[in-house]
Chains A and B, each alone.
Chain A
Amino acid sequence: MARDSGIWQNSFIFISVDFNFSLRPKIKRQQLQQRQGTKTGKKKKMHSFGYRANALLTFAVTILALMCAIASLSDNLNTPSPSAQIEILNINWFQKQPHGNDEVSLTLNITADLQSLFTWNTKQLFIFVAAEYETPKNALNQVSLWDAIIPAKEFAKFSIHTSNKYRFIDQGHNLRGKEFNLTLHWHVMPKTGKMFANKIVMSGYHLPEDYR
């Protein structure tokens, strides 16, 4: 069917409603006007109410998608400068489980300032603390100890005193005297678009030589 060249956006959503909505009822008669656009030989079509509504809706949604894409790109303009410290206050206990795996319970003091990570397009910040160490069996072991969701910028500067939320269990019994890193990871979850993730690595922690 021949359509006006301006309606490119119609190809996105096609609603097959084509009714004539007119304020004055017209009886169809033969039209006297000559065929317009004789150079290209195309017939002009009168757009109905449904046609205009469809075109407008499609165009509006396309522009909304573009706005969200640009909003996501604007996140790259932000240069964050987060900081964090983790202190192990106490090792509560350090045992070998009946089935042979080591387990540790720690009390941590986590201080962080992650306010610069928030932008206008940030929904929330997901952070977690992981212990990383090496064993003969695995080159890298990562055990998540604690996590939290920060919903707004005001809560992003905090200092928390907590025992590990998730159990620190090894695959085996390699933890005696082990040196490990504590890393604070964060995932910046946007309202629209790309999610960014990064981390701060803090090294120099180690476990005692004997079980307690």
Chain B
Amino acid sequence: MDWQGQKLAEHLMQILLLAFAVVAFATGYIMGSFQMMILIYAGGVVLTTLVTVPNWPFFNRHPLKWLDPSEAEKHPKPQLAVNSKKKSVKKN
């Protein structure tokens, strides 16, 4: 995913879950059936999972710009300084 896609996925998840919750509660209340509310909500959760969790291509419309390999060679990663012999003296 890219940054915009991530934001979209997050918003989509929240909106979809809330919408399904409202629809499920309204249907359950009007029909007088608790079972109906739970079934609709469960279906909604599964649908939202399928839409927002996997890495779909439409979440990657503004792909991240990675560094070119030639450019990476010009800026090598800094080496960690070796100082195992030096230890901080503990004061008693």
Residues of chain A having any CB pair with chain B under 8 Å: 4, 6-7, 21-23, 26, 29-33, 36, 44, 46-47, 49, 52-53, 55-56, 59-60, 63-64, 66-67, 70-71, 74, 119-121, 191-192
Contacts and interface: CB of A to CB of B under 8 A. Distances in A.
Contact of A46 (B1, B13, B21, B54): B1
Interface string B19-54: 001001100110111100100010001001100111
A43 B33 CA distance: 47
A60 B66 contact: no
A23 B6 CA distance: 15
Given A30-B72, A63-B21, A70-B25, A21 B10 contact: no
Contact of A30 (B24, B41, B49, B75): B75
A56 B53 contact: yes
Contacts, number: 86
Interface of B: 1, 3, 6, 9-10, 13-14, 17-18, 21, 24-25, 28-29, 31-34, 37, 41, 45, 48-49, 52-55, 64-67, 69, 71-72, 75, 77
Nearest to B69: A29
A47 B6 contact: yes
Given A33-B64, A71-B25, A191-B34, A63 B18 contact: yes
Contacts of B54: 49
Given A29-B72, A121-B34, A53 B53 contact: yes
Contacts of A63: 17-18, 21
Contacts of A121: 34
A55 B13 contact: yes
A21 B54 CA distance: 9
18 contacts: A26-B66, A29-B66, A30-B72, A30-B77, A31-B65, A31-B67, A32-B67, A52-B52, A55-B13, A56-B17, A63-B18, A64-B21, A66-B21, A67-B37, A71-B34, A120-B28, A120-B29, A191-B34
Contacts of A119: 32
B13 A59 contact: yes
Nearest to B57: A23
Given A46-B6, A52-B13, 12 more contacts: A6-B10, A30-B77, A32-B66, A36-B3, A47-B6, A47-B9, A55-B13, A56-B45, A60-B48, A67-B21, A67-B37, A74-B29
B64 A31 contact: yes
Nearest to A7: B10
A55 B63 CA distance: 23
A32 B64 CA distance: 9
A65 to B, nearest CB: 11
A19 to B, nearest CB: 13
Contacts of B64: 31, 33
B8 to A, nearest CB: 12
A199 to B, nearest CB: 26
